[in-house]
Amino acid sequence: MTDATRAEVCVIACAEAFRGDGEILASAFGTIPAIGVRLARATFAPDLLLTDGEAQLVRGTWAVGAPADGVVEGWSPFRRIFDLVWHGKRHAMMIPVQIDRYGNTNISALGDHARPKVQLIGVRGAPGNTVTHPVSYWVPKHAPRAFVPRVDLVSGVGHDSAAAAGTGARRYHDLRRVVTNLAVFDFAPEGGAMRLRSVHPGVTVDEVCAATGFPLVIEGEVPETRLPTEEELRLIRDVLDPRGLRDEEVPA
Amino acid sequence: MTDKQMSAREVVGRLRSGMTIGIGGWAARRKPMALVREILRSDLTDLTIVSYGGPDVGLLCAAGKVRKLVFGFVTLDSVPLDPHFRAARQRGEIEVAEYDEGMLQWGLYAAGLRLPFLPTRAGLGSSVWSGNPGLRTVADPYGSGDELIAMPAIPLDAALVHMNRADVHGNAQFLGPDPYFDDLFCLAAEQAFVSCERIVPTAELTAQAHPATLVLKRLVVDGVVEAPGGAHFTSCVPDYDVDTQALHDYAASAASPEAWAEFRREYLSGGAEHARDAEARTA
């Protein structure tokens, strides 16, 4: 039925990462994840808490790139965010520069830490997020340079790193999903390696494998990522992203 | 009661080369730029800077003031990466201690509470753990079996922060959305200096605003500098938003030594738009 674009399918896949999360703080980085969490709250996950991108929790449904419009329901400056982070009632979707087979991610630097070839932003909150609350990832350009055999530096902690670091790191370690412009992944319960869950319409499994710099876990027939409903499409197009910013992140 | 007013120059006169200096604010938000600018004009060197980094870090790196940076990130918000900081790192010029943002908070908090460390899970399993050879773990003494990171206190020789309002005694107030970690920086420091948009009588601080906005208490503040525009070109909401043009000029000035020299001349000399009224008040 649908004329949904790739970007809109990605929005649905990001929204789905938050299904069943209940009453938690949902933090999404990037345009498409931001549309996704707002869509999730407007439809199947009404209890999610969202911030205005600064220090307020706001209840409402507003467009990306526009000021938050809704009822303020809380104050959440950075230090309170860290309280929630370490308390565990948060699910963040972050954007790694590199990600590897076990879900280690890097946003700090490429090359040697002492003298990086490319200095990036720094680890930010990734080390703490990944060992204290659920984390998912969004990769708008799925390619071998992002999906690497081994990340240069570990900002976000993957399954092998958490396992090696003991129960202090493992106790609340909970990597959920990886959503890209091509496909959706989770991690195999056995061994913790990245597993292909669905490919977006028009994408083949072979294409996904070719764009990934390590072997994926693939079990049986890989289904297609679910398409948006008419109501979801209306929300995305008319309410959440009327300016079409999603197409800049994932071109049609 | 002590009147702690001083000029930016007097603040920098209290600093020494080799010191560990904490800088408040967050990324391109409420950075004490008038004080940073005064450091740029000084002969201070060999500094250890502790910061939730923005252009304060890039400026000090580019000017060769930094020996070591203790940080969790450096970003200009709308410009995700600070080119001056990147260049300094990629040339191998500065030493770093990179921590998770929450670990940094914990280190400042530990110093403020006069504790040698605070335990945390943050950092376990990450390169932060393997990249800071001095870090240690501590076993849960109550038997969960967890080994946690013992985040060491980060004591500061001095803290520099910028607030919206203050009185002459050092009680200071944020009127924007977020206090960031400015009170923790001050608590962790031997000496703490606050610049502010306006010094007002104490009673005026709470005439319109809730007392909870008074995040700095005078007992942790050693000097107060009235510096209108003192966070420029970073934001100091609600007094002013980030100066996007100046921010982009700053980023562009990393293109060549000539561009940097030109920016520095303009930014430090006063009179130019970049340096506007804060200069006149603090010179």
Q: How confident is the model at residue B269 (pLDDT cuts 50, 70, 90)?
A: confident
* 49-78 in chain B: CB under 8 A from chain A: 53, 71-75
Q: What pLDDT score does B278 carry?
A: 45
Number of CB pairs, chain A paired with chain B, less than 8 A apart: 147
> Quick check: is B126 in a domain?
no
Residue B67 structural domain: 8-118+153-197+213-274
Question: What digits encode the pLDDT tens for the residues A156-214?
Answer: 999 999 999 999 999 999 999 999 999 999 999 999 999 999 999 999 999 999 999 99
Q: How far is B44 from chain A (nearest CA, A)?
A: 24
Q: What pLDDT score does B179 carry?
A: 97
Range B133-154 average pLDDT: 97
As for how many domains chain B has, the answer is 1
Question: What digits encode the pLDDT tens for the residues B157-190?
Answer: 999 999 999 999 999 999 999 999 999 999 999 9
C-alpha–C-alpha distance, residues B140 and A236, integer Å: 48
Q: What pLDDT score does B283 carry?
A: 37
Task: CATH number of the domain at B32, please.
Answer: 3.40.1080.10
pLDDT above 80 (res B277): no
> Quick check: is B187 in a domain?
yes
> Quick check: is B133 in a domain?
no
Taking CA atoms, what residue in B is nearest to A128? B122
Q: What pLDDT score does B270 carry?
A: 59
Q: How confident is the model at residue A252 (pLDDT cuts 50, 70, 90)?
A: confident
C-alpha–C-alpha distance, residues A67 and A59, integer Å: 13
Residue contact A131–B131, C-beta within 8 A: no
pLDDT above 60 (res A150): yes
Label residue B252 exposed, middle or buried (CB < 10 Å: 0-12, 13-18, 19+): middle
Q: How far is A171 from chain B (nearest CA, A)?
A: 9
Contact B68, B96 (CB under 8 A): yes
Which amino acid is it at B65?
K
* Torsion sign across C-alpha atoms A39, A14, A108, B155: positive
For Cα atoms B181, B182, B188, give the angle at the middle one, nearest 5 degrees: 90
CA separation (Å) from A170 to A128, A239, B147? 12, 40, 11
Residue contact B147–A168, C-beta within 8 A: yes
> Quick check: is B124 in a domain?
no
Q: What pLDDT score does B267 carry?
A: 87
- Regarding beta strands A98-99 and A105-106, do their DSSP bridges make them parallel or antiparallel, or are they unpaired? antiparallel
Range B206-218 average pLDDT: 97
> Quick check: is B236 in a domain?
yes
| H-state helical runs in B134-240 | 182-187, 202-208
pLDDT above 70 (res B271): no
Whether chain A has a CB inside 8 Å of the CB on B104: the answer is no
Q: What pLDDT score does B282 carry?
A: 40
- Rounded mean pLDDT of chain A? 97
Q: What pLDDT score does B108 carry?
A: 98
Q: What pLDDT score does B159 carry?
A: 99
- Regarding beta strands B147-152 and B189-199, do their DSSP bridges make them parallel or antiparallel, or are they unpaired? unpaired
> Quick check: is B241 in a domain?
yes
**A81: helix, coil or strand?**
helix
Backbone angles phi, psi at A241, to 5 degrees: -150, 60
Question: What digits encode the pLDDT tens for the residues A87-116?
Answer: 999 999 999 999 999 999 999 999 999 899
